[in-house]
Amino acid sequence: MVAQNVIDYSKQLLRQLCKDYNLNEDEVLAKYFPEFEFEDINVFLNKSTRGKNGETNIVREKTIKNLLEKKIPDSFFEQSSEWKNLRDAIFNLAERIYPNEDISVLKVESKGGLGNKFDFNFVLNGKVKKIEFKFGAKSINQLAQFLQIPVKSCDFLSESYVDFYYNNYVPKLYSLRGKLIPDKETYIKRIGFTKLSDDPIRNLNDLTNEEKKQFREKANIFYHESAKEFLKKDIKFDIEKFNEKLEEQKGKIYMLYKDGTFHIDEMSDEDLTCVSYIIKPEQKRIFATSVSGMEISIHLRWQNGNGLGNPSLQVKKE
């Protein structure tokens, strides 16, 4: 988000310079902030890409939009069979989403980012499709998760895992570093990954590599133990509130890409409406069953490693 703000501000300055010196704004912005480059194909080939392009998934999403809106130069396809194959694959996918329709007039609205629950709106002849893009899978059940819910904002568990971890494991964790335990509000901000330097249990620059390894191993033990012990408590799982979270996933078409091919997958409303659950502490999971009989696992884990940052519920189709 910070990087995007810097880019937006830089563009603003360039626009003002163009006005001051009577320069062609479109040409200047295209030179210094190109929407695409030939090497962008690498992000679909699992090859390294330029750091200046930002996160690889952002480049993938921009490339998909530019391909469908025919903004990629023909020279890319003439020079590279990989570019041509990607273009053909994405148009083949669009034809499957809109069978027997003229996809040359398809419009793509980017929806990715904070506050949005999917990546694109595909709009064709008044028909709008919500599209979720995922890389490296052929079906939804191959995804590590289709939904991630921060534990600290979870409202469908009867008790707070963050409170439990803070009361029972944070003192042990900070004592390993010889650091003072922060108040709960400060700790919760730190585990949300603000600044690394603010958190003495994540900023380990004063330790040797071996000491870092030992600390992380111990923290990982605390994570596994805490998740199991928390779920062994008399935790109640509010299915109705969980279904409200799943409601946001309804109506999506999953556009999945793997091995040079795009795939389509969907979940029905019945798939995304749960009616029962079972808690399995040893697996650190809650398993919910939907109306259709589909099983959904809710995995209590720390997204950024070893019980040190971003405790979340990883929701996956089994």
DSSP 38: G
Per-residue pLDDT of the chain (318 residues; tens, 9 = 90+): 444 566 667 777 877 887 777 777 656 655 566 667 888 899 898 755 444 334 788 889 889 999 998 888 888 899 999 999 999 999 999 999 999 999 988 999 988 755 568 889 999 998 999 999 999 999 999 999 999 999 988 999 999 999 999 999 999 999 999 989 999 998 888 887 655 556 778 888 889 999 999 999 999 999 999 999 999 999 999 999 999 999 989 999 999 999 889 999 999 999 999 999 999 999 999 999 999 999 999 999 998 777 888 899 999 999
Nearest to 144 by CA among 134, 152, 154, 153: 134
Identity of the amino acid at 256: L
> Which sign does the torsion angle of CA 19, 24, 29, 31 carry?
negative
Residue 174, φ and ψ in degrees, nearest 5: -70, -30
